[in-house]
Structure 1
Amino acid sequence: MNSSLKPEDLARVTIDKKLTDAGWLVQDKKRMNLFAAKEGVHGVAIREMDTTTGPVDYMLFIAGKACGVIEAKKDGVSLGGVAEQSGRYSVSKSAFTQRWMDELPFTYEATSAEIRFCDYRDPKARSRAVFHFHKPETLKKWLEEEKTLRARFHDLPELNTNGLRDCQIEAISGIEKSLKLNEPRALLQMATGSGKTFTAVTQIFRLAHYAKTKRVLFLVDRGNLGRQAKKEFEQYDTPVDGRKFTSHYNVNILGTTGVADTTKVTISTIQRLYSQLSGVELDDDADERSGYEIEEETLSNTPRAVSYNSEIPIEAFDLVIIDECHRSIYNLWRQVIEYFDAFIIGLTATPTKKTIGFFNQNLVAEYTHEKAVIDKVNVGYDIYRIKTKKTEQGDLIEAGTAVQVRDRLTKKQRQEVLDQDQAYSKTQLDRSVIAPNQIRTVLTAFKERCLPECFSERSWVPKTLIFAKDDDHADRIVDKVREVFNEGNSFCKKITYRVGKKAAEDTIAEFRTSPRLRVAVTVDMIATGTDIKPLECLIFMRDVRSQAYYEQMKGRGTRVIDIDSLHQVTPDAKAKTRFVLVDAVGVTESDKTESKAMEKKPSVSTEKLMEQIARGDRSADTLQSLGNRLVRLDLTLDEKQRAMLSELIGKPLALVAGELIRSTNEEYLEQQAKIQFGTDAPTQEQRDEVYKPIADAAVKPFHNPDVRETIEKVRRQTDQVIDDSADELQDAGFDVEKAQHIIKSFKQFIADNKAELSAIELIYSKPYQQRHLSYEQIEALAENIQAPPYNIAPIEVWKAYQQLETAKVKGLPPATLLTNIVSLISYATGLKDVLEPFPEVVERRFNAWAQQQQHSGTKFTPAQLEWLNLIKQQIAQNAEMMMDDFDYAPFNQQGGALRARQLFGENLSNVIDELNGYLIA
């Protein structure tokens, strides 16, 4: 490029190229040919076109008629104030020219790096930033339309709410209000299982049918969710005529052929969209990896750069809907999203502050998990914690032990005898150390402790999903599940992208509907979005640092399911009222952050980073990236490797990593600059001057080629030591915080229902002799407690008290005993100091009553005592004895009411009333 050109001329060179790329012919005024032959629409941009207020930098012509102007500025000029200038040119006349409209509707302001656009036909027209110029074909179509898209948004009819939940109505209303206000971005929070995709399909149909939206891009988190979304479109019954969505409009998954003109909805992952825009070939498994998983692994905040692609121009879509707005959407893929001149709508169950910020704080509807539980759209959950020695503390393999050593890549094993003790931490499990018995111990605790305590009435193992650390870990878990439960291959299967798309989707379908497949093990393939309603257990055997990703993973268990559908896959399940989150690694206790990414050069290898530093690279990105890599490497080292590196370097590797990272810390550098230069506001030059010697000192170890080679050798080490020693179960039980929450909810239930529930009133407000409950009242009480918003079973309240107030809780009753609620309310309200199973209370009081009868001179025959014991048992089980009960077992087998009257005569009713009052008191 000619360096002698003025800045304005340099900008115009780039603008010319961008116009040409978009299909415009760029001409000088003297060489004007408004009908120059060019394939497609005759779109011509004339430089320095005269107007009554002076020459405009470019005037745009389509089919020989003027339609818009471009005002070009040198780089660095703020374009915000230039719109008035381009607007003035748009209403100025140009001699002898034909115009599409008296006032030209399209205005652009541009530098070589920035473009702003406005269509003055829009309601309350305002400029917006665009990635590139629009094609002339597009502007011609817009000119031929009676109204602009933004104007058509105001013509949307009232929403037909039939078949929609309140949260879906709120969501659609919020989106449409945002569109009418011309808000470029909007975020929708909807709890998992509340019908986000159905809401999106409903919204897309309304926009396509009534606002004539041209094309919509529907972005999904993973490939299999795209195929799942396509089925939703295919099954959607449109409200206008009952026909399916796909009978009105074409819905396609983005492929190598790009975006067809006839396609209304294009479904894609962000990875595949980037591949199509940039021409970069997509890895086979890239489509199947969750953005949450990618961001955890790479911690990359370097956006994927895109260039203009005339095959997929910026106006290819009117609307972009992003299903699951994880961090990588506004870090890794931000420029891909912002490429299109389209409204952006985000859907998520778990918005973070950064997500809300990306969507301009325009949160148009909120439907949280808590609201969904109250509405019976979601179910709540209990946390069951399993701790083993190896999981919590790691372990020690003593010197002289013969161990198996496995190559991580080839899986080949060899035997070695350790020449010194080898300690390993819990973070090294399933990385440098494999401990098969750790997996076995966790799964045995799940089988023998968790299932009997959480699903005591079941013989079928509830549908269970296990989250593994990686594909190899998943394989080992699958083997151990089959062994621990003594079941075959059909009982437990792996679902990861490594098994292949078709096989994985077939297994997902089987897991959703087959009674045989009880346990599935995954890494990330069904960690987000996938709908498996019968799930009742989630086992975390991997930790997760991202709060949003953790919430997504939990969301797999929240979906409700009707009883008939649940019975088809789990025959002995009464209903799905909650799910159990089994925490085997402390995932519920670890810090969850949306921290700033430290990895600045994800595409540069560790070996290359060290070489760059040795050559003299002192950029902050390089130092910070290497420091981050070394922190991770240190976590995988055993004590022998760690000591060897410390001796070679002269200090621990963790310290070297810390010095690299600290050397790039802006706050630290500013503080040092303040001290060195004696100023409260150091300049950038002063901070740079401070940075150089600190960086030089931090990178000093990497001038030594032996250090670089040894780190690379250790980093590539693929051996995994197999620790076959036994693991120890340290604890298995409900989470303390969850127990506190259950008790709080139970007490809130009592407080909320004092006046309404007669059963409660009968317990603590009636005189002693009248404290009497009916079975129906207890049953109604139990149903109310287990319903939203409380969602707690009486036995879970009992277990919570047992965990937190052990000394005051005497025993654990059968979970099915409805009369447990009598004891619980008496204890929770302070009427009783001890919580004990109701049958035991009845037994003790019956013995006391019998002794009182004896002291008062009343004697019972052996036959009468036998029947009194039967009456006692009836009261213990049902909290009352009625005359009608004599017609049922076990009384009818002994002669029923007739025999009772023979034994007790006219005193029978008095005996029953007395026992009801005394035993339940």
Structure 2
Amino acid sequence: MVVGRLPWWDHVVVPAPDLAMSEGYLTAEARARVEIDRQLVACGWVVQDRNELNLYAGQGVAVREFIMAAGHGRADYLLFVDGKAVGAVEAKPSGTPLAGVESQSAKYAAGLPKDLPALVSPLPFLYESTGDETMFTDGFDPEPRSRPVVTFHRPETLARWLRHWIDDAEAGSLRARLDRLGPVPADGLRRIQVEAIGRIEASMCRNHPRALAQMATGSGKTFMAANLAYRLVQTAGAERVLFLVDRANLGRQTLREFQQFATPGDGRKFTDLYNVQLLTSNRIDPAARVVITTVQRLYSMLRGEEELPEDVDEKSGAEIEPERPVEVVYNPAIPIEAFDVVIVDECHRSIYGVWRQVIEYFDAFLVGLTATPAKQTFGFFNQNLVVEYGHAEAVADGVNVDFDVYRIRTKISEQGSTVEAGLVTKFRERETRKVRLEKLDEDVVYDARQLDRDVVAVDQIRTVIRTFRDNLFKPLDEGGIFPGRSEVPKTLIFAKDDSHADDIVRICREEFGRGNDFAVKITYRTTGVKPEDLLNQFRNSFNPRIAVTVDMIATGTDVRPLECVMFMRQVRSRNFFEQMKGRGVRVIDPNDLQAVSADATAKTHFVIVDAVGVTEAEFNDTNPLDRHKAESLKTLLDQVAAGVRDPDVVSSIAGRLARLDRVITPDDRTEIADAAGGVGLTDLVRFLTDAVDTDRAWEVAAAASGGADPTDEQLHEARAELVEKACRVLAERPELRTKLVEVRRSYTQVLDETSKDEIIDAGFSRDATDRARTTIESWQAFVAEHRDDIDALQILYSRPYGKRLTLKAIKELATAIGRPPYNWTPERLWAAYEALEVSRVRGSAGTQFTNLISLVRKALDPDRDLVAYPLTVDERFQNWLAQQTQAGTTFTADQLAWLTRIKDHLATSLTIAPDDFELEPFIGHGGYGRANTTFAGRLAPLLDELTQELVA
């Protein structure tokens, strides 16, 4: 982090000379100390020379070049709080690795001069810093270990930590107090919630800075996190916990979770014991122990903005994410120690990319909660996955319901169509929806990708909705979606945009012959009523039966009575699709379901109605347990009895029995347990699910191999052993198989037919496509494998403060990928992406080494477009020019010509220095002297600013 250099730094005034000139004449370490001085002052410290010592100048005083006891050298900075020595800072030149510097600061800590006032010896608070990078060691930790921090802690914070130590020498730091957390009480918690809390706390006790909990949608992540926050605040003494959500309506949902949380013991509500603040303004309540907000509001607060527009907080961080990573600067009103723990709840993957410096700003434990982690998520949390609980396990535990897929395919949906020339055709403005008539001069040909964006085929929407209506209540043997029902189940439809949603709502009302309250649009642009009020009606009232949304209900929102999720839009992200699909998995008590859907008996499953082929995409990770829908339960059980050990058969039986488990009576449950030799139906489902769980097979194989990674043969044997054990429970008990069939026949079940989409050739031969796919997969694997040992990959992945890419690092990467066995060039990698994703590639590879930056970013985030690096730089340049114009700065034609040359140089070289002006194209236009004169002697800071704004 660079304090005091960004355009919007206005939080702290640090008196300093004009360093644009003076710093150039200082040594590297002296320049680092100038920057360290700035940061210390910004953090509330008074910085003094030894001969100007005045320990009463402020609560915190940092004394330069303090002479320590004999043999202990001279401390670069000795830190005093309330007149007593508490720590030291070891300064090093920028770029110096700090891994081995702890011994020097530790020497100062143990070398206090005799009679120097100090509460603790050795000194507990030690820093090593280059000005760009800072490491901190807390001597009160059980196992003191340096950790990276953005800048220094404030004096009042160190004073508070010292008071904790004075009160209890064994509890001087949060990490020390974590040891006091006892076993997690199981009352009121699911098994997986108890397990998740225990594992997160164990990770913190081991001083792992980051932990990721992967828990299926609907498994109670937020309630688990509320319990975790209570234990951290109540027992471990955490000062404040930050709860980051994706958008404001999820923040309100989280606040309700804390308000309803009855704490262990006397049962008082969490909010009766501790203040919980949902930020609706840019001010943190000093008394708040839990703060809930969005990442965009937090970024606004760090920037010192007075307020954030309300509509920005209501949107997902993904919708408003900047084009490139944001950078943060120190804000004394929100110091790095403002939060002890940051919980990131189901935030979009962009929070670990463009927003990551916002959450890395704090010196805090980071805990991630998600149902659908991406590779980028695992990387951000240092691969520290402490709990993994998937959809199949959640179904087996009765925490989720399973799903079926009902596929609707239309000709226009897959092939597009043509509007012929000569027809008088309606044209509609996207924003205003104003319609005009115009006669076509030529044919309008459109494909499936343009549908509902460039062209609205009204009959295509009508055909899908009419097909849904006509098949909704048909008998089971005729392919009915919800046979035996008479009222439309609560249905959520995902549209492409607001305009598309308006069309769907209108046609739903027409096709079902119902009024305005039957189908509604719930998006951020809904007017006349708050979207959240509509959402509550959808959740709690009979009407609306159908809600149409774009993204607002896609993640995190809880609608338990939902029984049908319809996709009328494509989804390119695996994570986003799993989140959208997850809206239907939540369980609900039959009485609560019947309160809004009187003709329903119980929610045994939900149905995905796929009108676009989204369930057939390669990224669809979660498949239904039931994979043999055309076969009866009796047929599947007979196959097992006859010796069939197909995992899909076992999975299908588990899926059928999981649905049965949600509706049977206590008497039926007892009879099944008796027939199973005392094994309950819920345990039987879990047993069968575990048998086809790849992770479970790996655990068994690893145990058999003595802890080593198992071979493929050992994995196969473990899988076969698990399946055999599960099948024997059914195979050796004919009476159990008979009882299961009898009981199931007394309950209505749905078997939906699933259609497979046709393979459409993209224009390349199959061999060429396969080669391109293999190249891209190998490239992604290379980036993941070498991100820690190749400088360019490390910088692009981690984005460390103050560390920039150089052309040398990029050329080293090009050399590495050009060696056998890869033999890649940027041009070859670029061509592979063009072969598979031509619509998502902008610009050509050319011969620029810097295009490797774009290729690495694409490998780290496959969902982003591949854009030639010079194009990226040019776009940033145009944005910078626009910002200058808005600020009242204009440039002459000569100045613009120089700026363009500088921009082009940065696009190919990443850096620029005065020596570069001795080369073409600069020297032909007068070189550095002419350029500096053109900009009135301010060329040097202008070069720094352009490098900051344009270069990755």
TM-score by length of 1: 0.65
5 Å-filtered alignment, 1:174-253, equals: 174-253=199-278
Whether the 8 Å contact between 1:51 and 1:95 is mirrored in structure 2 is no
Aligned to 2:313: 287
CA separation of 1:318/1:543 partners in 2, compared to 1, >3 Å: closer, same or farther?
A: same
1:425 partnered with 2:444: no
The Cα of 1:471 is off from its aligned counterpart by 1.1
1:507 partnered with 2:528: no
Aligned to 1:47: 64
**1:405 aligns with one of 421, 427, 430:** 427
**2:405 aligns with one of 369, 376, 383:** 383
Measured in 2, the distance between the counterparts of 1:251 and 1:818 equals 47
Letter in 1 for 2:231: R
**Secondary structure in 2 aligned to 1:234?**
helix
What per-residue deviation string (whole Å, max 9, x for no partner) do you get for residues 265-291 of structure 1? 000011111111113564442222234
Aligned to 2:51: 30
Letter in 2 for 1:472: S
Of structures 1 and 2, the larger Rg is shown by 1
The Cα of 1:248 is off from its aligned counterpart by 0.6
Measured in 2, the distance between the counterparts of 1:454 and 1:83 equals 66
**1:82 aligns with one of 80, 101, 104:** 101
Aligned to 2:512: 485
Whether the 8 Å contact between 1:290 and 1:528 is mirrored in structure 2 is no
**Secondary structure in 1 aligned to 2:252?**
helix
1:337 partnered with 2:362: no
CA separation of 1:746/1:172 partners in 2, compared to 1, >3 Å: closer, same or farther?
A: farther
Aligned to 1:256: 281
The Cα of 1:94 is off from its aligned counterpart by 2.4
5 Å-filtered alignment, 1:668-687, equals: none
Measured in 2, the distance between the counterparts of 1:345 and 1:501 equals 38
Unaligned runs of 5+ in 1: 595-734, 756-775, 792-814, 825-921
Letter in 2 for 1:32: L
**Secondary structure in 1 aligned to 2:219?**
coil
Aligned to 1:592: 619
Q: CA RMSD in A?
A: 3.0
**Secondary structure in 2 aligned to 1:285?**
helix
1:61 partnered with 2:80: yes
Measured in 2, the distance between the counterparts of 1:486 and 1:200 equals 45
Whether the 8 Å contact between 1:325 and 1:355 is mirrored in structure 2 is no
**Secondary structure in 2 aligned to 1:84?**
helix
CA separation of 1:422/1:820 partners in 2, compared to 1, >3 Å: closer, same or farther?
A: farther
What per-residue deviation string (whole Å, max 9, x for no partner) do you get for residues 354-409 of structure 1? 21121111111111111000011100100111111111110011111110111223
Aligned to 1:851: none
Aligned to 1:522: 549
1:367 partnered with 2:384: no
1:118 partnered with 2:118: no
Measured in 2, the distance between the counterparts of 1:785 and 1:89 equals 62
**Secondary structure in 2 aligned to 1:528?**
coil
**1:536 aligns with one of 548, 552, 563:** 563
Measured in 1, the distance between the counterparts of 2:583 and 2:511 equals 24
Whether the 8 Å contact between 1:106 and 1:118 is mirrored in structure 2 is yes
The Cα of 1:784 is off from its aligned counterpart by 6.8
Measured in 1, the distance between the counterparts of 2:588 and 2:393 equals 17
Measured in 1, the distance between the counterparts of 2:228 and 2:272 equals 17
Aligned to 1:572: 599
Count, aligned residues: 633
The Cα of 1:44 is off from its aligned counterpart by 0.2
Measured in 2, the distance between the counterparts of 1:740 and 1:15 equals 66
CA separation of 1:99/1:817 partners in 2, compared to 1, >3 Å: closer, same or farther?
A: closer
Measured in 1, the distance between the counterparts of 2:455 and 2:54 equals 74
CA separation of 1:173/1:105 partners in 2, compared to 1, >3 Å: closer, same or farther?
A: same
CA separation of 1:255/1:166 partners in 2, compared to 1, >3 Å: closer, same or farther?
A: same
CA separation of 1:739/1:95 partners in 2, compared to 1, >3 Å: closer, same or farther?
A: closer
**Secondary structure in 2 aligned to 1:79?**
coil
**Secondary structure in 1 aligned to 2:185?**
coil
**Secondary structure in 1 aligned to 2:202?**
helix
Measured in 2, the distance between the counterparts of 1:593 and 1:462 equals 24
**2:498 aligns with one of 471, 491, 516:** 471
CA separation of 1:785/1:423 partners in 2, compared to 1, >3 Å: closer, same or farther?
A: farther
CA separation of 1:786/1:168 partners in 2, compared to 1, >3 Å: closer, same or farther?
A: closer
Measured in 2, the distance between the counterparts of 1:256 and 1:465 equals 32
CA separation of 1:107/1:398 partners in 2, compared to 1, >3 Å: closer, same or farther?
A: same
CA separation of 1:415/1:152 partners in 2, compared to 1, >3 Å: closer, same or farther?
A: same
Aligned to 2:339: 317
Whether the 8 Å contact between 2:45 and 2:155 is mirrored in structure 1 is yes
Letter in 2 for 1:100: L
**Secondary structure in 2 aligned to 1:109?**
strand
Whether the 8 Å contact between 1:315 and 1:341 is mirrored in structure 2 is yes
Letter in 1 for 2:370: T
CA separation of 1:477/1:51 partners in 2, compared to 1, >3 Å: closer, same or farther?
A: same
What per-residue deviation string (whole Å, max 9, x for no partner) do you get for residues 512-541 of structure 1? 111121010111111111110000000001
The Cα of 1:120 is off from its aligned counterpart by 1.2
Letter in 1 for 2:561: P
**Secondary structure in 1 aligned to 2:616?**
coil
CA separation of 1:431/1:777 partners in 2, compared to 1, >3 Å: closer, same or farther?
A: closer
Percent of residue pairs identical: 51
Measured in 2, the distance between the counterparts of 1:500 and 1:273 equals 27
Whether the 8 Å contact between 2:53 and 2:63 is mirrored in structure 1 is yes
Whether the 8 Å contact between 1:544 and 1:592 is mirrored in structure 2 is no
The Cα of 1:746 is off from its aligned counterpart by 7.2
The Cα of 1:352 is off from its aligned counterpart by 2.1
Measured in 1, the distance between the counterparts of 2:627 and 2:386 equals 35
5 Å-filtered alignment, 1:873-884, equals: none
What per-residue deviation string (whole Å, max 9, x for no partner) do you get for residues 301-321 of structure 1? x22111000000000000000
**Secondary structure in 2 aligned to 1:351?**
coil
Aligned to 1:347: 369
CA separation of 1:167/1:108 partners in 2, compared to 1, >3 Å: closer, same or farther?
A: same
Letter in 2 for 1:6: T
5 Å-filtered alignment, 1:863-882, equals: none
Whether the 8 Å contact between 1:405 and 1:415 is mirrored in structure 2 is yes
CA separation of 1:821/1:263 partners in 2, compared to 1, >3 Å: closer, same or farther?
A: closer
What per-residue deviation string (whole Å, max 9, x for no partner) do you get for residues 318-368 of structure 1? 000000143112111110010000000000111222211211111111111
CA separation of 1:241/1:386 partners in 2, compared to 1, >3 Å: closer, same or farther?
A: same
5 Å-filtered alignment, 1:573-652, equals: 573-592=600-619
Letter in 1 for 2:508: V
Measured in 2, the distance between the counterparts of 1:582 and 1:90 equals 66
Measured in 2, the distance between the counterparts of 1:389 and 1:325 equals 37
